Structure 1
Amino acid sequence: MRQDEAKHFDERTAAGDTAAEPGGAADPEARYRRSSAFLIDEALGFLFPAALRAAADVGVADHLADGPRTPAELATTTGLDARSLHRVLRLLATRGVVAEDDAGRFTLTDAGQALRSDVPCSARTAVQMLTDRTMWQPAGELTSCLTEGTASFEAIFGMPFFDWFAQDARTAAVFHGGMAAMSDAENAVIAAAYDFPETGTVVDVGGGHGGLLLEVLRRNPGVAGVLYDRAHVLAGHRLDTDKEIAGRWTLAEGDFFVSAPPGDIHLLKRITHDWDDETCVTLLTSCRRSLHPGGRVLVLDAVVPRGNAPHQSKTLDLMMMASLTGRERTEADFAALFDRAGLRLSRVLPTPTVLSVVEAVPA
């Protein structure tokens, strides 16, 4: 049951709409039966991302690119089990990722196109990252977060999240590949949402493979860029894929908690939400010290809105709670962080994505 259905449920309950229930409007148990049905349906919801991951792992969307096919036809091509494949596709069809016709053939819908690996902004590796066991297993142990007040990741894997990365190449590859895939659909519109200066240096702090910096440089021909990250991350950078920005970027290796390259703008995209407040203050202080006069720090993260409406930040916040030490933050939270780091929140600019541009200047 989705958010709009939950609202409908609440309205019916408030109105006492129990005429169809045993015992009619006077039945005192009717509202609890509906609540029970709703909660059980919600508890089963974890099986949809499980099905989505399975489809991503076996690349079934690529085999639907040329048109409708039955599970038996897909099984012949892929070597998968036809009956199991049908059951996975049938569940994905309930959310509009695929659609089944009267002949039992499945079609990839518009909503499901990015599950393919051969399209721009493919989400396949992002799905695999978000449902990887390093995210999935800690989420199943959220109770320990409530009782212990710490992430459940370390109890499961024996060390903190990023320490696990340092010794597990598979997880590191999944994470960085998945983050790059998530960013591919965001970077162009985020770069276009902010009025960068005509000249100067933009430093992408913890910028991964450089997708955001690439878009910033494409749109701002007078700007130079620095991609700053760990050496093993920089090895996968993509800045050399566009000849138009040649000669305008450099790579810098280092630890952003210790220092950052000097620049006019420091970008922090999906970085601060990984870390607790104390660590973020250290990071932001490092950036502030490296700013040129008149410089700015741009935190590109989700900003948790007020109210009860769904927002991806509220979902991601529990992932941060389970696997990392960070959290998604409100505008007031960011203002407090900046103040402790010698910065001042100047404005929050929404973008067409779930992320906002949270701009800070030296206090």
Structure 2
Amino acid sequence: MSSSGGVITPEASTVYLISEAHSYLKAAALRAVAQLGVADHLGDDPRPVEELAEATGTDADFLHRVIRLLATIDVFRQEEDGRISLTPLGQGLRTDSRYSARWGVVMSTMHTHWSSAFELGDGLRTGKAPFPALFGEQYFDYVAGNPEAAAEFHGGMGSFSGAARRLALDEYSFPEAGTVVDVGGGTGGFLRDILLENPGLRGVLFDQAHVLPGETPRDIASERWTEVAGDFFEEVPADGDLYVLSYITHDWSDEECVRILRNCRKAMAPGARIAVFDAVVEPGNEPDDAKLLDLVMMMLVSGRERTAAEFGRIFDQAGLRLARILPAQGPLSVVEAVAV
């Protein structure tokens, strides 16, 4: 429904708004089928819901009703004979799908996120993220100290960010040679993609010690990187030719971002660049994933999604200059900065 054309009656407005308020139920349904791996039991051929229920250890009637709702958003399809199939959009829920969305859905609907969203009104009154008051510590401290939350978070970020970063990679030209420093690079999925597509580069995977993958099976990409443990608020590895920050700046306040970016500025080799892979909030009233993600930041941490002008300001304060923004198909853009 749009108010840009036609007459919207009070009754229509009420029905529309209440329907929108029920949108969280679609998220709950997605979480349920992702947790239970329902999509993994659907191949090329439709299956009766009773078979799906038996395979997933669920109640057939309840499962049917959840799938019926998700069919309205083109995740599943209910055939005329009642059997269930997986749509092309729903394929991302399969665990074996490249950049599977399964754990990203689970992460996006973690109990911590639901609870913080419920208290968003309190956040509006205080100007502070609800999460710390609810859980007694900062979000990333909680994740680090809670194995179950850590598994959901890191597994989810791998899938949530993987597909978006894949789209953004197609828009950015990496140097032919030199060293890429992935600042806050987690378990190395993004750096691996960069190195696989740019064989002349070497990499540094930089993050806190408890996040780094450590002793894992090596592959052609990870043989060309070194792992460095540290805190990007203190310093980052020196002499990189390109510093990559993917899904990092949106986690932190402007002041905290300036500290991170200043440390990158100090460490940069002559002629080096910084590439921030993050959402950029666009002007206007059109649907924008960055505006959704911005509320997630508001609920959980001190950060925010930023406009181009807001990126320019934090770069200026860090001794950098905004060089260009490369929009990508998906929620991410590449925001490039150079030393002043």
TM exceeding 0.5: yes
The 3-state SS of whatever aligns with 1:185 is helix
Residue 237 of structure 1, CA deviation: 8.3
8 A Cα contact 2:165 2:332, kept in partner: no
- 1:133 matched to 2:111? The reply is yes
Structure with the greater alpha carbon radius of gyration: 1
- Normalising by structure 2, what TM-score? 0.96
The 3-state SS of whatever aligns with 1:13 is coil
Match of 2:182 in 1: 204
Distance 1:95 1:114 in 2: 14
Give the AA of the match of 1:279: E
Residue 101 of structure 1, CA deviation: 1.4
Distance 1:258 1:301 in 2: 22
Match of 2:233 in 1: 257
Q: What are the residue-to-residue correspondences of 1:11-26 with 2, within 5 Å?
A: 11-13=5-7
Residue 200 of structure 1, CA deviation: 1.0
Match of 2:306 in 1: 329
Query: Per the alignment, do residues 205 and 231 of structure 1 end up closer, same or farther by CA in structure 2, a change over 3 Å counting?
Result: same
Residue 247 of structure 1, CA deviation: 4.0
Residue 184 of structure 1, CA deviation: 2.4
Which of 301, 314, 317 pairs up with 2:278? 301
Query: Per the alignment, do residues 314 and 187 of structure 1 end up closer, same or farther by CA in structure 2, a change over 3 Å counting?
Result: closer
Give the AA of the match of 1:216: I
The 3-state SS of whatever aligns with 1:293 is strand
Structure having greater relative contact order (Cα 8 Å, sep ≥ 6):
2
Give the AA of the match of 2:272: G
Query: Per the alignment, do residues 237 and 148 of structure 1 end up closer, same or farther by CA in structure 2, a change over 3 Å counting?
Result: farther
Aligned residues, how many?
339
Ranges in structure 2 where 5+ consecutive residues have no aligned partner = none
Residue 242 of structure 1, CA deviation: 3.0
Distance 1:143 1:345 in 2: 34
Ranges in structure 1 where 5+ consecutive residues have no aligned partner = 1-5, 15-30
The 3-state SS of whatever aligns with 2:179 is strand
Distance 1:320 1:303 in 2: 14
Distance 2:84 2:32 in 1: 16
Residue 299 of structure 1, CA deviation: 0.9
Match of 2:257 in 1: 280
- TM-superposition CA deviations, 1:111-148 (whole Å, max 9, x none): 10010112211110000000011211101111011111
Distance 1:73 1:220 in 2: 46
Residue 241 of structure 1, CA deviation: 4.8
- TM-superposition CA deviations, 1:76-123 (whole Å, max 9, x none): 222211111111101001100001112111110001001011221111
Residue 339 of structure 1, CA deviation: 0.6
Distance 2:295 2:167 in 1: 26
The 3-state SS of whatever aligns with 1:225 is strand
Which of 150, 158, 173 pairs up with 2:151? 173
The 3-state SS of whatever aligns with 1:267 is strand
Q: Percent same amino acid among aligned pairs?
A: 50
Query: Per the alignment, do residues 222 and 69 of structure 1 end up closer, same or farther by CA in structure 2, a change over 3 Å counting?
Result: same
- 1:55 matched to 2:49? The reply is no
